[in-house]
Structure 1
Amino acid sequence: MPIGKRSPTPAVIGRLRLANQGLLGGKRASVPEAVRWMTAMQAQDLGHALWAVGQRVAGPGASEVRAALDAGTVVRSWPMRGTLHLVAPEDLRWMLGITSGRLLQSLRTRHRELNITPDDISHARDVALETIATLSRDTEAAGVSREQLFAAFEEAGQVTKAQRGIHLIACLCQEASLVQGPMAGSKGNAGVQQLFVPFDQWIRDSRAVDREPGIAEWFLRYIHSHGPATVRDFAWWTQVPLSEARAALSAVQNQLVELPFGDASYWMSQETAAMLDDGVPGARSVLALPGFDEFLLGYQDRSLVLAPEYAELVVPGKNGVFKRIIVAGGGVVGTWARTGTGKSAGVVPEPFTGTLGPSAERSFLAQARAYLKFMES
């Protein structure tokens, strides 16, 4: 369904995305509900991921997100792009069924360099599951740490140096033999690592979704939570082949609205399109979002919300490490940093143009206070 001749600005598209991601009011009632709505949330830096969830849920603290990981109502794994994401537990297996084959194929050269064969992966699986079973029986441990798995691999003759160990673990997670489970330690005590547990013991109820309808569902959920977005955005985000992404669009196109912009077609839900008639919220909004937030990382083309001349200020040296971002009126206008720890912790804004302006600065400081309170609760 086309939307006609309306042609919004990049800032309006940015605000529509903020609204769909639950960042302009309409926050979700619980951590699992927020993660399920987003379908997947980038989470290679767990501290940043905690705040990403916190910005989308009404009134939680970081401890509630950790509790969801401890309870298994949210899981953290590598469902796509070889990157850690938070997902709903019932979705992980079918997502892996769509993405893992292509990912593992892309790693064949690296696995040859590391001398990882299918027999090695099978052996590592047996060692890992036996190690977990033994420690659970002898010590009532909830799972095993990466270091414990590495030690068991080494004892069994599987070298773990030069990233070989983490590739073995990743293979076991890609095939749904293992998954990251409860936190390895309490808040303030190694609380950024998780224990590895058997997949089927941790996730008891997995949905069965075939590939073609699965990609169609994934695309529809992506557009509802991330739109307006393009088919190429989705194909990059999931690493689903573009031909299959286009087929998914064809399957659900009657449920979506097309927004021509520039040289591309952006897709959004009918509810999102209605905002263009009723007024898009957030023109004066100021948000302190974490690094790696889906508002920026959820799209192949980020130039709509981040001017190219400022991109390297967000990713210094193009090293893949994204700084925390300040978003005002639907666009990225700066970065921010946390300073100190405990009672001396603070937040420092780093706007691209040197100043936020009085009103925006007051809004940012309110966000900073909310962030510090969240991380301590």
Structure 2
Amino acid sequence: MRLTWDQVFAWRLRRQYVEPRAASVSEIVARLCGVQAQVTSAAEMAVALRSSVPEAGALVGALNDGTLIKTWAMRGTLHALTPDLAAACLSLLASARTWEKPAWERNFGASPAEVAALTEELRRVLDGSVLTREELVDALLADPAFHRLGEQLRSGWGALLKPLAWQGAICHGPAQGTKITFANPAQLIKDWPGLPEPDAAASLAITAYLGAYGPATPETFDAWLSRGSLRKTVLRRWFSELGDTLVEVEVEGRHGYVLSEHLDELAATKPTKSVHLLGGFDQYVLGPGTGDTVLLPGDHRAKVSRTAGWISPIVVAGGRIVGTRELADDAIAVSMFDGAPLPKKGLKAAVDHLGAVLGRDALTVRAA
């Protein structure tokens, strides 16, 4: 079946609750396959913009009560996820065993044997406890075997803790003021299923991803999940084993997979001219990746994917990324690509919605 990108983008906007919106935080996070939470305010924004009744702090509330989990997941970045999808994605990430590769040891200084020992000790230290980073590191360094890893363990980037998270041994707990905490997900998260075997996890992770970001290829899924770390033969086998659950489609010369159950809906989708103002680190661009030149023109990628991994707030029109935006006092400064004029229709509604999410009624918009 042949489709157009205008159809695909309109379908994705609906599937990702950009329009129409949803009522439940967990429903939104599940549909998006997690929300990047390196910056908590950005994660809250992603959820609030998709909520029919935006509520300040709703995401953090769901994390604090154990409904959602915050952990290092896709691409090694912090995400808020539902427990079942978190377990599936962590299982696939762990199956890549990236910490056993020589390059990882060179970069982060721990051997595979040390990571294994650290994982075992971490489970003991966190048994029944929720610890701040300082408390956790002090407890681990009480064992002389880990003394040389002290600098990496104290690092805010958490490089040494990521393989432990991928194995389901650690996740973030409720913050204590400005301090982050860590816990054992099996003891903190409601309905924590434990990590399934990778072959069992693949079906849930792949179908969830395609349900929000399809049509997509195995390579696109892998780039989203692990930055291309999974074995290609295994990745293709996982897709193949889904059989009739998936169907291959063509979108203006590009081939990819969608869920068979979504094919008729996608084919019937009409293009949209709607305008939306999304936040930084939004899943609308992170799901397909900033390298998708149909969604984000390649010559404008640097305006969205900036230094130090920062992802700018974006302007979306007709499902395509057409500019970036900044909040300056009581005005939204919009920078349209290629000097294009501000959209004439739909922009005011987008500004009003953003103002409602921010609790600011008098927002105006101007060209930057």
**TM-score grouping bracket, smaller chain normalisation:** 0.7 to 0.9
Distance 1:371 1:160, change over 3 A: farther
Q: Distance in 1 between matches of 2:347 and 2:44?
A: 24
Q: Distance in 1 between matches of 2:67 and 2:161?
A: 22
Q: Distance in 1 between matches of 2:256 and 2:154?
A: 41
In the alignment, which residue of structure 2 is the partner of 1:140? Answer: none
Q: Mean alpha-carbon deviation: is it higher for 325-334 or for 37-46?
A: 37-46
Do structure 1's residue 302 and structure 2's residue 299 form an aligned pair? no
In the alignment, which residue of structure 1 is the partner of 2:242? Answer: 252
Within a 5 Å distance, the mapping from 1:309-324 to structure 2 comes to 309-316=299-306, 319-324=308-313
Do structure 1's residue 102 and structure 2's residue 102 form an aligned pair? no
In the alignment, which residue of structure 1 is the partner of 2:364? Answer: none
In the alignment, which residue of structure 1 is the partner of 2:187? Answer: 201
Summarize deviations over 1:78-107 as a string: whole Å, max 9, x none: 233212222211333343222114253366
Do structure 1's residue 74 and structure 2's residue 74 form an aligned pair? no
Q: Distance in 2 between matches of 1:327 and 1:167?
A: 34
Contact kept in structure 2, 1:177 and 1:198, CA below 8 Å: yes
Identity fraction in percent:
24
Do structure 1's residue 167 and structure 2's residue 170 form an aligned pair? no
DSSP 3-state at the match of 1:58? coil
Note the C-alpha offset of 1:69. 0.4
Contact kept in structure 1, 2:100 and 2:111, CA below 8 Å: no
Note the C-alpha offset of 1:61. 1.6
Letter in 2 for 1:209: P
Contact kept in structure 1, 2:171 and 2:184, CA below 8 Å: yes
In the alignment, which residue of structure 1 is the partner of 2:7? Answer: 12
Q: Distance in 1 between matches of 2:160 and 2:106?
A: 13
DSSP 3-state at the match of 1:349? strand
Note the C-alpha offset of 1:331. 0.3
TM score, norm. by length of structure 1: 0.81
Contact kept in structure 2, 1:70 and 1:181, CA below 8 Å: yes
In the alignment, which residue of structure 1 is the partner of 2:219? Answer: 232
For 1:358, which of 337, 344, 354 is the aligned residue?
344
DSSP 3-state at the match of 2:131? coil
Distance 1:164 1:65, change over 3 A: closer
Within a 5 Å distance, the mapping from 1:115-134 to structure 2 comes to 115-118=109-112, 120-121=114-115, 124-125=118-119, 128=122, 132=126
Contact kept in structure 2, 1:66 and 1:183, CA below 8 Å: no
Letter in 2 for 1:370: A
Note the C-alpha offset of 1:110. 3.7
Distance 1:347 1:195, change over 3 A: farther
Contact kept in structure 1, 2:100 and 2:112, CA below 8 Å: no
DSSP 3-state at the match of 1:357? coil
- Consecutive unaligned residues in structure 2, runs of 5 or more: 361-368
Do structure 1's residue 23 and structure 2's residue 18 form an aligned pair? yes
In the alignment, which residue of structure 2 is the partner of 1:223? Answer: 210
Summarize deviations over 1:288-307 as a string: whole Å, max 9, x none: 11222221111255111111
Do structure 1's residue 269 and structure 2's residue 259 form an aligned pair? yes
In the alignment, which residue of structure 2 is the partner of 1:214? Answer: 201
Contact kept in structure 2, 1:259 and 1:267, CA below 8 Å: yes
Summarize deviations over 1:265-316 as a string: whole Å, max 9, x none: 12223454334554425x1211111222221111255111111111111123
DSSP 3-state at the match of 2:57? helix
Contact kept in structure 2, 1:335 and 1:350, CA below 8 Å: yes
Distance 1:177 1:57, change over 3 A: same
Do structure 1's residue 148 and structure 2's residue 135 form an aligned pair? yes
Note the C-alpha offset of 1:153. 4.2
DSSP 3-state at the match of 2:276? strand
Q: Distance in 1 between matches of 2:348 and 2:27?
A: 30
Distance 1:106 1:320, change over 3 A: farther
Cα RMSD, aligned residues only: 3.0
Note the C-alpha offset of 1:227. 1.6
Do structure 1's residue 34 and structure 2's residue 28 form an aligned pair? yes
Do structure 1's residue 50 and structure 2's residue 21 form an aligned pair? no
Distance 1:316 1:178, change over 3 A: closer
Q: Distance in 2 between matches of 1:152 and 1:84?
A: 23
In the alignment, which residue of structure 2 is the partner of 1:349? Answer: 334
Note the C-alpha offset of 1:198. 1.8
Contact kept in structure 2, 1:234 and 1:245, CA below 8 Å: no
Note the C-alpha offset of 1:65. 0.9
DSSP 3-state at the match of 1:72? coil
Contact kept in structure 1, 2:69 and 2:83, CA below 8 Å: yes
DSSP 3-state at the match of 2:333? strand
Note the C-alpha offset of 1:233. 1.2
